[in-house]
Amino acid sequence: MKLGIFTVLFSQMPFEEMLDHVAAAGVDAVEIGTGGYPGNAHCDREALLASAEKRSAFLNAIASRGLEISALSCHNNPLHPNEEVRQKADQELRETIRLAAELGVKTVVTFSGCPGESERSENPVWVTCPWPEEYSRVLEWQWKEKVIPYWTEMNRFAADHGVRIAIEAHPGFVVYNGETLLRLRDACGEQIGINFDPSHMFWQGIDPIEAVHALAPHRCIFHVHAKDTGFNKHNVARDGVLDTKPYREELKRAWIFRTVGYGHDQQTWADLLSALQMNGYDGVISIEHEDSLMSIEEGFQKAVAFLRPLVIREKLQQMWWA
């Protein structure tokens, strides 16, 4: 395995300064944002698509620091019921897939998206329970009319470009756990897999180690994020984990995102990395920082220091997980 960083953390730094900074910290790979919610501070998608010379300079800047690209990331909602938002997201994703192919990057990270409840919707509608019965009807309509048709086409588009799509399972979108990821993959194609982010699983009550074992037979773990979740046990005991309060209201929330090691201990993370390796994952563990109690630099440096001793350098023989 290798240790990486989702470089949108350092969007305020110029591209090459950012590369120098993360290389000096001891990471091996960079995950580059190309648009959508994280933005594209270090990647001018249109310019790179238009110029082989610019693509070469982009790749040389990364390789000259001993780094590699783990993924291009374009988190957005290509199923949004607002046509303008939806078309923009679709264009960003397609251009990111095309750029990945041109750069020799095999993985693009994104969200599954979420449609509305009907053709009349203006905003996404995320269904989380089967009753009253209209919720089940909405969910069936979403998958039949919007989710499966779009991602079947996008699976073909990715296959034509030799690129894999790693869906980040995230509440608020139709793919939010392993089960919904496999439903999408089974319906739409094997270019679709998961960007495995334990933080989103922790706060739903999912054991990420069990999730790894459930997903492993499908060979669909394409990319991994390193981010943690911490819980306020008093608020959870009183109100549960469903929480719509702003992330900055830390004392009032049931949970918040944390730097790795500040939500779950070293043994938990060691067991998770071991489970990934034993099940065949030999890719990058990409640090993502959304800890509102730490500065970006503090969270980044602490995550590197925590994960570096845990990242498993030697690849096991295939017999271990065959």
CA angle 161–183–279, rounded 5-degree value = 75
In a domain, 42, yes or no: yes
In a domain, 181, yes or no: yes
pLDDT for the residue numbered 313: 77
pLDDT band at 315 (very low <50, low <70, confident <90, very high): low
Which residue range is the domain that position 93 belongs to? 2-229+264-320
In a domain, 240, yes or no: no
How far separated are the first and last CA of the chain, in Å rounded?
18
How many domains, the chain? 1
CATH of the domain at 174: 3.20.20.150
Taken in order 92, 296, 231, 307, is the CA torsion positive or negative?
A: positive
Which of 79, 52, 65 has the alpha carbon at shortest distance from 15?
Answer: 65
Tell me the residue ranges of DSSP E strands in the chain.
2-6, 29-36, 68-75, 107-110, 164-168, 192-196, 221-226, 228-231, 255-258, 284-287
What does pTM read for this prediction? 0.96
In a domain, 241, yes or no: no
Which of 245, 321, 253 has the alpha carbon at shortest distance from 282?
Answer: 321
In a domain, 248, yes or no: no
In a domain, 258, yes or no: no
Please tell me which residue, 318 or 138, carries the higher pLDDT value. 138
In a domain, 210, yes or no: yes
Backbone phi, psi, residue 117, to 5° = -95, -10
pLDDT band at 322 (very low <50, low <70, confident <90, very high): very low
* Per-residue pLDDT tens digits for 169-202: 999 999 999 999 999 999 999 999 999 999 999 9
* Per-residue pLDDT tens digits for 199-244: 999 999 999 999 999 999 999 999 999 999 999 999 999 999 999 9
pLDDT band at 320 (very low <50, low <70, confident <90, very high): very low
Is the pLDDT at 89 greater than 70? The verdict is yes
Check whether the bond before 130 is cis (ω within 30° of 0). no
In a domain, 126, yes or no: yes
CB burial class (10 A; 0-12, 13-18, 19+) of residue 234? exposed
Is the pLDDT at 96 greater than 60? The verdict is yes
**Mean pLDDT, all residues of the chain:** 96
What are 291's two structure tokens? 């800890």
* Per-residue pLDDT tens digits for 258-305: 999 999 999 999 999 999 999 999 999 999 999 999 999 999 999 999
